[in-house]
Structure 1
């Protein structure tokens, strides 16, 4: 029998993002008002062969001076920062000179909320602003890997909006696949489209599972309709109303679609199924492949432009099975890879901007509301 995993790993995919020794070293800018934090980061990076230079910034003037004189490949930025906070700095960097930003956040609720706003504004990831985290080689390997992947991307200006035929079959679930760097686009689509009150909408995020409870709390307080964490253990169908949130790292999959609705569960804890990215983004492909098998005709999936290519192979399966597969193009994330991977393997029915995606989703919603639909 051909399994979900067989289908996923037989699909065309981008080359692995693993770092090789011959890859160029990375320049890091650590921006934090605490000299002890900067010293700890500098020490750790000084011992890491992948880092060529660690530049320190104690305030926003230092950050923007460094961007002018010695541009870094990645910024490690404290959420609470002197002069401008991390959110304001993130927004300014993305407007002036996009550079990958990783946020250091304290455990206090206010600081985490600001860090989540940074993700919505273009930051790629959050790491704990603790001695334990900032003394971990895994933290800095991940930081340098993000920088290398973003650095390797070639600017693309040849991405016209492409439209295709979209089935008007009833829609029972909408999946928003938000990989690294794509949270802002996903929330724009969710807040502007009209589906949320009529069918379950599921945000699939690459965020670390340790941050998920606080992230869902923040979304619940931020979004008009609220948000809730999907319970993969109960076998209960997804419901409309609050935004349903699930982490890609738990490898969610569709296990049933019937008169009660669509039901999600997690894959068994089998070692070979562990995703090969630390953010667990291969879970996008697991979810989309299972959707293609069980609920293709009832589902719409939107792949928002993120740093990795994860999700493109699963989206291709959904399209082939008769599902509706949409891709954000061009992407709001300046370091997007997934959109162009999807184009290369012909993974979607439609490629459109955020506003174009909203229009298409609203059209589907209007068709759904017609008598006899």
Structure 2
């Protein structure tokens, strides 16, 4: 296998050395240069044309966001952001994902992380995955589709976040979304195009560490007609609201009377993930007389596929997979498609309209 050429950008000489040493331990990675700030990173990206760039969020002279924008404009390249766990750091990381960064990794102990070795394997995995990522999908948000505009015109109060009674005569519905690498940008494409009067709650499992899911929820909420929040233990799910599983917790669903309730726990990770979509999907499969729409979008690995099988075995389920051409990483959707249980394969900018179509199906 040809070595992937990596440019490491960080304002700390110590961190540049540590990151470079960690990556260089893998035989398929060659660190070809390092950059001390955003200006240096852009200059070397243009000169050296690396396969992947690791880019620190917080740098002097030119920060990571500004450097990322110039790199994606002038020399598009897969970028993995390195971030602190501060509120500012998590918010900026989410903006970087929207601007085209493939993935991110949280420094374990702040800007200068002497214990970077703790995340060495994750760093290597993310850099190798980024080298194969699809970065052609534009981060800008497409206009709402004709299906959604028609829904909004029929339900004019939807723009004011008023939740209408379900028009589904067969019973309640539930939307489940699973995603990982490239997920924040994919969710940006989908969630911001859904009408506020959505006829179901949405449950989202995005592979992220603690702290980042709250920033993701707040960011999507500020941009969307529907309400978006981080899920809380014991809360009743409401129509027109999207609930994001908190990093570090599995999100399980259970029926209490006529309501669906969220339950959070910290049982063992599944497939290396907590939250894991398979855990959420399996819990949803045990809820009867509720039709489900399962959506599996961009991400490494196979999370969601086994849960989809369980969903299909136990109830009425429509499954949507993101198509390969818009996935940053075509892993999770590929695994879902391989089950032969997916009803539609659509590009990310058509997923919102497909969800609305199924929610309005009154069969």
Using the size of structure 1 for normalisation, the TM-score is: 0.73
Q: Within 1, Cα distance between the matches of 2:193 and 2:204? A: 14
| Equivalences for residues 1-373 of structure 1 within 5 A | 27-42=5-20, 44-45=22-23, 51-53=29-31, 55-60=33-38, 62-81=40-59, 85-91=63-69, 93=71, 99-123=77-101, 124-128=103-107, 130=110, 133=113, 135-151=115-131, 170-194=171-195, 197-232=198-233, 234=234, 236-247=235-246, 249-256=248-255, 258-260=257-259, 262-266=260-264, 269=267, 273-277=268-272, 279-280=273-274, 283-295=276-288, 297-321=290-314, 322-367=316-361
C-alpha contact (below 8 Å) 1:176/1:186 kept by paired residues? no
- Give, in angstroms, the shift of residue 168 of structure 1: 9.5
Q: Within 2, Cα distance between the matches of 1:253 and 1:208? A: 18
Q: Within 2, Cα distance between the matches of 1:113 and 1:180? A: 17
Q: Within 2, Cα distance between the matches of 1:327 and 1:349? A: 8
C-alpha contact (below 8 Å) 1:257/1:294 kept by paired residues? no
Change (3 A) 1:168 1:64: farther
Change (3 A) 1:336 1:118: farther
C-alpha contact (below 8 Å) 2:9/2:16 kept by paired residues? yes
How far does the alpha carbon of each residue in 1:8-44 deviate from its partner, in whole angstroms, 9 at most, with x for none?
A: xxxxxxxxxxxxxxx8765432223444543443455
- Give, in angstroms, the shift of residue 345 of structure 1: 2.6
* Map of 1:18 onto structure 2: none
C-alpha contact (below 8 Å) 1:305/1:331 kept by paired residues? no
Change (3 A) 1:356 1:131: closer
Q: Which has the higher contact order (CA 8 A, sep 6+)?
A: 1
C-alpha contact (below 8 Å) 1:196/1:243 kept by paired residues? no
Change (3 A) 1:153 1:214: closer
Q: Within 1, Cα distance between the matches of 2:92 and 2:135? A: 29
* Map of 2:160 onto structure 1: none
C-alpha contact (below 8 Å) 1:73/1:147 kept by paired residues? no
Can you give the 5+ residue segments of structure 1 that lack an aligned partner in the other structure? 1-22, 157-166
C-alpha contact (below 8 Å) 1:42/1:54 kept by paired residues? no
C-alpha contact (below 8 Å) 1:98/1:334 kept by paired residues? no
Q: Within 1, Cα distance between the matches of 2:5 and 2:289? A: 44
Change (3 A) 1:221 1:320: same
Q: Within 1, Cα distance between the matches of 2:86 and 2:48? A: 33
- Give, in angstroms, the shift of residue 365 of structure 1: 3.6
Can you give the 5+ residue segments of structure 2 that lack an aligned partner in the other structure? 137-167
Using the size of structure 2 for normalisation, the TM-score is: 0.75
C-alpha contact (below 8 Å) 1:50/1:144 kept by paired residues? no
Question: What is the RMSD computed on CA atoms of the aligned residues?
Answer: 3.6
Task: Compare 179-188 and 50-59 and name the one that shifted more.
Answer: 50-59
